[in-house]
């Protein structure tokens, strides 16, 4: 499933009868009018799964559930065509208060359904933008943010945000960093009273954070791939119901981030393949040496996702290396540096941190002002 393209994803949703599943859960919620519609949907799905006689998933069963629900609803329609519902929970509220509460819950369910439709786009980048917008709308908050985990730097990187600029947060620091490290939801009424909160972003922007709801975004295998954060609810503090709603949005965000990653990998693989073809064509063509070396160095940058590429030629007479293209006018001894060692031994070197390797010659970096990190030679 991780390698699905948009067409296969659409076909998969059709095969598993996903549309009917959502329609059935909606109909059951409207018919039963539970106090907690999210918990109700979880429970009713659990009951259906427990009733199954086999582990095999049968999409046609969902159609039967939906048909049964509509039949039951038809029997409860009054003379005015209004579905009365099976039960109304006993409450001490007056009838107007009960009606207001029911309307609020129905509106909440409708907002979630609308959000699912908005988020369910095949464009993964648009999906994450939509999740942030829907989080602000449904939770009625001032700002929302999606951070993604950078496993190389061990940081959270701002993916998209309403009203925010580029931010990087070390995992384990701050509210979002703590959520990424622990996998726990954090709901804070007063941000400045919490020792984990860093006010540096507020001071830099002039904005004041009051309350925060923050929870992890997980992939299908349960690993944390990001953090969804909502800031400053406009009508009080974030509630347990808001947490339930955000958990559904976080699930959608996990799918969207995974799709975005697959999309980027697919585009990267396609670009690398084209670059390799360019190199092969150049080597088989009638290019001059300088043009050939230029093509090889430029396309290799794309193939290995590097900043720079230099092709050194060996001068056996003077026991040196010189660059005809790339880092122009550089000449080094074969007895020095990473390239010199490779030229002498004929062995490939893959160095994750150049400055940690005693063979690395820092003189070129000092001369050019560039900072070398990883090297493949």
CATH number of the domain encompassing residue 348:
3.30.450.40
**C-alpha to C-alpha distance for 355 and 372, rounded to whole angstroms:** 8
More confident position, 292 or 13: 292
Domain span including residue 100: 1-120
| pLDDT tens per residue, range 147-189 | 999 888 899 988 755 555 557 889 999 999 999 999 999 999 9
What total number of domains does the chain contain?
2
Which of 92, 120, 148 terminates a domain? The answer is: 120
Q: Answer whether residue 247 is part of any domain.
A: no
Residue 351 lies in a domain: yes
pLDDT, tens only, 212-266: 999 999 988 889 999 999 999 998 999 988 898 888 888 888 887 777 777 777 7
Q: Which residues contact 243 (CB under 8 A, 6 or more apart)?
A: 185, 187, 213, 215
Left (φ > 0), alpha (ψ -120 to 50) or beta: where does 135 sit? Answer: alpha
Q: Is residue 329 part of a domain?
A: yes
To the question of pTM greater than 0.75 for the whole model, the response is no
Residue 3 placed within a domain: yes
pLDDT digits (tens, 9 = 90+) for 298-351: 788 878 888 888 888 888 888 888 876 544 567 788 888 888 889 989 999 999
Tell me if 66 is assigned to some domain. yes
**Domain stop point among 79, 99, 120:** 120
- What pLDDT, on a 0 to 100 scale, did the predictor assign at position 83? 57
Q: Which of 120, 135, 165 is the last residue of a domain?
A: 120
Q: Is residue 320 part of a domain?
A: yes
Q: Which residue has the tokens 């990267």?
A: 268
């Amino acid at each position: 499933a991780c390698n699905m393209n948009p067409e296969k994803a659409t076909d998969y949703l059709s095969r598993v009868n996903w549309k009917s599943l959502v329609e059935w859960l909606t109909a059951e919620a409207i018919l039963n009018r539970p106090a907690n519609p999210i918990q109700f949907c979880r429970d009713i799905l659990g009951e259906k799964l427990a009733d199954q006689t086999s582990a095999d998933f049968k999409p046609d069963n969902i159609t039967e559930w939906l048909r049964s629900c509509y039949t039951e609803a038809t029997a409860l329609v009054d003379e005015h065509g209004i579905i009365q519902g099976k039960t109304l929970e006993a409450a001490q509220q007056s009838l107007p208060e009960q009606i207001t509460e029911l309307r609020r819950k129905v509106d909440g369910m409708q907002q979630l359904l609308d959000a699912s439709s908005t988020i369910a786009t095949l464009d993964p980048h648009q999906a994450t933008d939509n999740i942030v917008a829907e989080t602000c709308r449904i939770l009625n908050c001032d700002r929302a943010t999606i951070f993604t985990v950078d496993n190389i730097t061990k940081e959270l990187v701002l993916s998209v945000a309403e009203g925010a600029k580029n931010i990087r947060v070390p995992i384990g620091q701050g509210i979002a960093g703590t959520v990424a490290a622990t996998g726990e939801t954090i709901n804070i009424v007063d941000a400045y009273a919490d020792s984990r909160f860093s006010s540096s972003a507020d001071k830099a922007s002039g904005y004041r954070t009051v309350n925060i709801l923050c929870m992890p975004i997980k992939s299908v295998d349960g690993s944390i791939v990001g953090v969804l954060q909502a800031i400053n609810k406009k009508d009080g503090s974030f509630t347990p119901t808001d947490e339930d709603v955000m958990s559904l949005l976080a699930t959608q965000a996990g799918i969207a981030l995974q799709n975005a990653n697959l999309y980027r990998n697919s585009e990267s693989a396609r670009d690398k393949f084209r670059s390799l073809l360019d190199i092969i064509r150049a080597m088989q063509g009638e290019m001059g040496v300088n043009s050939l070396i230029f093509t090889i160095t430029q396309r290799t940058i794309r193939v290995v996702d590097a900043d720079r590429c230099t092709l050194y030629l060996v001068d056996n007479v003077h026991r040196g290396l010189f660059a005809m293209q790339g880092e122009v006018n550089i000449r080094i001894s074969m007895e020095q540096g990473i390239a010199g060692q490779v030229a002498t031994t004929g062995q490939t070197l893959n160095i994750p941190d150049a400055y940690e390797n005693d063979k690395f010659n820092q003189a070129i970096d000092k001369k050019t002002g560039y900072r070398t990190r990883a090297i493949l030679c």
